[in-house]
Structure 1
């Protein structure tokens, strides 16, 4: 049986583009558009630990936002914050980043703004978000709950789903589809690698990216000759 750690390692070896292509081929949607790294160049993968933020005053917050998720997470975990795309108020900050780095958490993904970006960058903590902003969450947004189903940039994300993020963006993979997505993405990578080798050989691009490129996802099959 394939372990979660093995799946995360395989996912980490892939880029978001290959994973997005695999999702396309399987009729799934997972690219969370509008999110990007705000702390430099990173390539990360892991399992989602979710939390949702809402406007202050709509619920009684049991704790400061994100703290329970940080305390419960560690290596190979990605904290995923449903912040409703808010660009005007932070959904993550520096003290939380320090706690996340201390716990060895893989990365933070926030569907909205974050602050203390320089602190997270100095810590080496990958943070993906809509934007950076100095405005505090205090008295503006609170945590409704954590370890729940959430929506990130229009993508449904459940606790334990898989996340991969790099310079092209953030992609989520449903846990129940991870094996099929990994298999398909690895085949896409292999085929594109062969195409690049042909480019390096000086073969004209019109031949390298011929008619079959447009049907790459439907024609990619396992090599059964081995």
Structure 2
């Protein structure tokens, strides 16, 4: 008998369009992250609970201090999570080669950085899904420090609490509150099943309005 899929696996199989529609129908809002955040592997879906990082710029920090704090962050990231960073910075990269290798080996599913990344060819080579706003070779050394981990963060007006689920694919990223993630997954799976019936009807030549009135979805 096949083992039951985890919530992460179930959500990863639900494309963001249907998740969005389900959450909108539930009366929720402010859950879609900015479209400027883009994945380096757009063909690969990603889902999982958030391990959150809040950062600050500190040009007075020395190189050792910044690297010690950064490696400490990497040590905290739990397997099965998504690294979600609000660095409060738009000048340097907040994900790169050695960090991605470390996180991937720990079982972290990918990262979302409200800022920049670097070493992108290497990230592509190892298949570490990275959502970011762009790329730069500049790093954090002597410039940036973490302020807190596992605290609520905000990205583009979307509040993300530790343990909230993120679902991302080529269309974009959605945050699902942890308390309703199971319900959202179940409703999204049901909606996908209904959409499959609509698709089958359309391919069979049924008028689209008739299909909509029959199944209540389009």
TM-score (norm 2): 0.84
Which residue of 98, 101, 109 maps to 1:98? 101
**Change in CA separation of 1:106 and 1:31 when aligned onto 2, cut-off 3 Å:** same
Q: Which moved more, 1:198-207 or 1:148-157?
A: 198-207
1:6: Cα distance to partner? 2.4
Query: How many residues are matched?
Result: 210
Alpha-carbon distance in 2 for matches of 1:10, 1:66 = 32
Alpha-carbon distance in 2 for matches of 1:172, 1:93 = 24
Runs of 4+ in 1 over 4 A off after TM superposition: 57-66, 209-213
Q: Which moved more, 1:57-66 or 1:99-108?
A: 57-66
Specify every segment of 5 or more residues in structure 1 that has no aligned partner in the other structure, as ranges: 218-226
Structure 2 equivalent of residue 47 of structure 1: 49
Are residues 1:27 and 2:27 paired?
yes
Specify every segment of 5 or more residues in structure 2 that has no aligned partner in the other structure, as ranges: none
Q: Which moved more, 1:93-102 or 1:23-32?
A: 23-32
Contact 1:37 1:126 in 2 (8 A): yes
Contact 1:16 1:164 in 2 (8 A): yes
User: Is the partner of 1:80 in helix, strand or coil?
Assistant: strand
1:179: Cα distance to partner? 2.3
User: Is the partner of 1:90 in helix, strand or coil?
Assistant: coil
Structure 2 equivalent of residue 67 of structure 1: 71
Alpha-carbon distance in 1 for matches of 2:69, 2:39 = 21
Are residues 1:147 and 2:176 paired?
no
* RMSD over equivalenced CA pairs, Å: 2.6
Q: How does 1:163-182 map to 2 (within 5 A)?
A: 163-182=166-185
Alpha-carbon distance in 2 for matches of 1:198, 1:13 = 23
1:185: Cα distance to partner? 1.5
User: Is the partner of 2:27 in helix, strand or coil?
Assistant: coil
1:142: Cα distance to partner? 2.0
1:63: Cα distance to partner? 5.6
Contact 2:66 2:145 in 1 (8 A): no
**Change in CA separation of 1:186 and 1:40 when aligned onto 2, cut-off 3 Å:** closer
1:74: Cα distance to partner? 4.2
Contact 1:43 1:166 in 2 (8 A): yes
